[in-house]
Structure 1
Amino acid sequence: MMCPSYRVTGEERHSTRGRARLLHEMLAGEIVTDGWRSAEVAEALDLCLGCKGCRSDCPVGVDMAAYKAEFLHRHWAGRIRPLSHYTLGGLPGWLRLIAGLRAAGAVDALARRLPVPGLDRDRGGRLPELAREPFTRSLPATTAFEARGPGRSPGSVMLWPDTFTEYLAPETGRAAVRVLRAAGLDVGVPRGGTVCCGLTYVSTGRLDRARKVLRRTLDALGDVPGPVVVLEPSCAAALRTDLPALLPDDPRAARLAAAVRTFAEALEEYAPEWRPPRLDRAVVGQTHCHQHAVLGDGPDRRLRERAGLVGELSGGCCGLAGNFGFEPGHHGVSVACAEEQLLPSLREAPRDAVIQADGFSCRTQIAQLGGVRARHLAELLAEGLGDGPGEGV
């Protein structure tokens, strides 16, 4: 996977080695003399997609995404930031605000018609389209995890309502509830307040804001006695790694990080005897960068095999990478990254193949550049269930 932008540009400054060297020179202060305000370092890091591929692929485990977040945090300290840091970087807050308005439908339509400052015009300059109803509002009140009380069964899991599932793709959450219940698990969602992994704030270097969001999330969650199933790979990775790194002195952060499970991990660990529906189809699509680099995809591969999904998902990076592909000046690199592995795999796929991408960014890129709809593994399995447990969720 490492490094998508270097594989596109071929320029040393865009390699992991080149970026690390520039950061070293910046800290040494002999060649790069303007420190954290360095325009040269900022330019080299601008095309870092934050894929974290170097975290797993680099022989010395460099995490350039974390370095970039820290650099942006210090580079823009006390200054007005690029507009995209406020629009895309603050996406959870904007979506929550819009969804909370009584005239949400009219607001959403307006947002889709008018370009939004700070978004790339080649992408249409518009925010993603909101769902008609947020994921958690579509669930019965009895689904609230807090309602289970201290007597929760050993098969209870909390389903994390990440920003993308909550406001942009609630069908993924509903499908996951169906499948987890079909596997015999008792599923709930947090209702103590808004929760967020802080990912968009971290990726734009708004680390102080990320810490506030994460503390508020921990306050809202309270005790987390069991597994927390996170459908969005980037959010799962953020909770496992960024959360304890940003709040190292808060024991609640370490507990939540340890409780995080991906969808496939939860099924493998807590419903090992469950047999998924047989789909018996070829599968193509995209393994999320953070899944590859931080979470691993062993349980996903085994779950696909048990469901009869044959084939390999694309390596590399889809090129959208959260806010990256929507930021001005990134569209060309974003498309080139997709052309490196993802788009050719879609064009070469069997006609009846199903398309899987667990990351919302990956699904968005596939829809915009490939013209087809990709689905989360939970959606594929839910469709194979037919009428059964969880129907009507």
Structure 2
Amino acid sequence: GAMCPSYHATRNEKDTTRGRANALREFLTHNPRENKFDAAELKEVFDLCLSCKACGSECPSNVDVATLKAEFMYQYQEEHGYTFRNKLFAYNTRANRISAKFPLLSGAFLQNRITGKLVKKITGVAGERSIPMARKFDFRKYLNSKPDLTSENKGKLVLYIDEFTEYLDIEVGKDAIDLLHTLGYEIILYFGESGRTFISKGFLNQARELAAANLQALYPFTSEGIPVVGLEPSAVLSFRDEYHRFRLHPEKLRSLSENSLLIEEFLAREIGKGNIFSSSFTAEERIVKVHNHCHQKSLSDQKVTFDVLNVPENYKVRIINSGCCGMAGSFGYEKEHYEVSMKIGGLRLFPSVSKAAEDTLIAANGTSCRHQIWDGTGRKAYHPVSILRNALKS
């Protein structure tokens, strides 16, 4: 359980991978009820699991507690109903889609001290949390306004605008378009909800439907080996992880799984092929401190982010040995988890960010991680794509 972030914060045996796995084994074997997952005690067991997936890759027995938790929550809620707050987080994208249409209304409502407080109270969100604002942006129009690529066209890619980028991290999406276009790539935009918010709350039927829709829509590209490049690790990496458990079309799944990449994986691959050069970027000196997303640590590799941020010749990149940031999607918003969430961030991540010099760039590719860094230190962290976009020679 040494790799488990909640254990580091609480030091409770029940918050280790071992503790959770033992409790689950106990109930699956001895629970007299027909639905073996139907046990309030198991709710307690999974309560502090952040679904970070560290156990899936670091635990010697490869117990994947994130999957156990999603399956448990599904089974338990099928039996006892889906709570209002869980629905709210699971259907968050729907809420963002609506509030993006009324930015003034929703913005004023959430930012107002009194109504903002009320919303948090009703929804069980920690009062101390900042709430991100949903906005509307026409990415297609933005891409179409770019000049045509010269003869230097380096090939096609699908830029996956996931549910987080589309409504909450618009700047990151724009930076990705700017960066890839300037470097000579032909961009096809794809909009689709990954299902991450549903998976993390155990809404597995809804997640499976989204997965099937994405497989189908992306197959014309993946079947030709055109890479699907994603910005938010928890969204795009679900194509390589959770989607395998939904028993979907095997050929389409293989093709999506093999052709979906974090944008850093894609850029690192292109650097390796000699398609991207330092000469496109500034020679200015900067120090960059990097915090990577848990799912990247578990399912990909941190070196890709390190490599791409080293492309500007005088950028000195250091990876913060940070473990999980403690936000983990909705986890850090929930008022009963707020304290543990901040405690996890306070172990190594916050101190490292806080002691970085003013002009040190803080990189974090996860939307939750950037949010957590802001709430924990008041410093703005940038997606590596934004850092590279700003480093381009004008």
Relative to the length of structure 2, the TM-score reads 0.87
Distance between the aligned counterparts of 2:155 and 2:365, measured in 1? 24
Distance between the aligned counterparts of 1:310 and 1:140, measured in 2? 30
Aligned to 1:291: 296
Q: Does 1:373 align with 2:386?
A: no
Tell me the secondary structure at the aligned position of residue 159 of structure 2. strand
Tell me the secondary structure at the aligned position of residue 157 of structure 2. strand
- What are the within-5 Å matches in structure 2 for residues 200-279 of structure 1? 200-224=197-221, 225=224, 226-270=226-270, 272-273=273-274, 274-276=276-278, 277=281, 278-279=283-284
AA aligned to 1:302 is D
Cα shift readout 1:246-283 (whole Å, capped 9, x = no counterpart): 23445323322221111121122235321242453222
Q: Does 1:326 align with 2:333?
A: yes
- What are the within-5 Å matches in structure 2 for residues 53-202 of structure 1? 53-99=54-100, 101=101, 103-113=102-112, 114=115, 115-116=119-120, 117-124=122-129, 127-131=131-135, 133-134=136-137, 136=139, 139-141=142-144, 155-190=155-190, 194-202=191-199
Tell me the secondary structure at the aligned position of residue 37 of structure 1. coil
- Describe the shift of the 1:171–1:55 C-alpha distance in structure 2 as closer, same or farther (beyond 3 A): same
My pick for the range that moved more, 172-181 or 268-277, is 268-277
Alignment RMSD: 2.4
Q: Contact 1:135/1:173 (CA < 8 Å) preserved in 2?
A: no
Quote how far apart the aligned CAs of 1:30 are.
6.1
Distance between the aligned counterparts of 2:299 and 2:133, measured in 1? 29
Quote how far apart the aligned CAs of 1:34 are.
7.8
Aligned to 1:305: 310
Q: Contact 1:315/1:342 (CA < 8 Å) preserved in 2?
A: yes
Structure 1 gap segments, 5+ residues each: 144-152, 388-393
Relative to the length of structure 1, the TM-score reads 0.88
AA aligned to 1:326 is Y
Q: Contact 2:56/2:63 (CA < 8 Å) preserved in 1?
A: yes
- Describe the shift of the 1:69–1:352 C-alpha distance in structure 2 as closer, same or farther (beyond 3 A): same
My pick for the range that moved more, 323-332 or 216-225, is 216-225
Q: Contact 1:135/1:171 (CA < 8 Å) preserved in 2?
A: no
AA aligned to 1:359 is G
My pick for the range that moved more, 49-58 or 280-289, is 280-289
- What are the within-5 Å matches in structure 2 for residues 353-364 of structure 1? 353-364=360-371
AA aligned to 1:283 is V
Cα shift readout 1:209-251 (whole Å, capped 9, x = no counterpart): 1011222333444512300110111112211111122234453
Aligned to 1:342: 349
Aligned to 1:150: none
Distance between the aligned counterparts of 1:178 and 1:141, measured in 2? 12
Tell me the secondary structure at the aligned position of residue 335 of structure 2. coil
Q: Contact 2:140/2:189 (CA < 8 Å) preserved in 1?
A: no
Distance between the aligned counterparts of 2:164 and 2:75, measured in 1? 28
Q: Contact 1:325/1:331 (CA < 8 Å) preserved in 2?
A: yes
- Describe the shift of the 1:218–1:136 C-alpha distance in structure 2 as closer, same or farther (beyond 3 A): farther
Quote how far apart the aligned CAs of 1:33 are.
10
Distance between the aligned counterparts of 2:12 and 2:35, measured in 1? 23
Q: Contact 1:155/1:270 (CA < 8 Å) preserved in 2?
A: no
Aligned to 2:43: 42
AA aligned to 1:240 is R
AA aligned to 1:130 is A
Q: Contact 2:234/2:295 (CA < 8 Å) preserved in 1?
A: yes
Tell me the secondary structure at the aligned position of residue 76 of structure 1. helix
Quote how far apart the aligned CAs of 1:84 are.
2.4
Distance between the aligned counterparts of 2:32 and 2:14, measured in 1? 15
Distance between the aligned counterparts of 2:375 and 2:340, measured in 1? 15
Quote how far apart the aligned CAs of 1:71 are.
0.4
Distance between the aligned counterparts of 1:211 and 1:179, measured in 2? 32
AA aligned to 1:261 is L
Identity %: 30
AA aligned to 2:362 is I
Quote how far apart the aligned CAs of 1:174 are.
1.1
- Describe the shift of the 1:3–1:279 C-alpha distance in structure 2 as closer, same or farther (beyond 3 A): farther
My pick for the range that moved more, 25-34 or 51-60, is 25-34
Quote how far apart the aligned CAs of 1:183 are.
2.2
Distance between the aligned counterparts of 2:326 and 2:159, measured in 1? 28
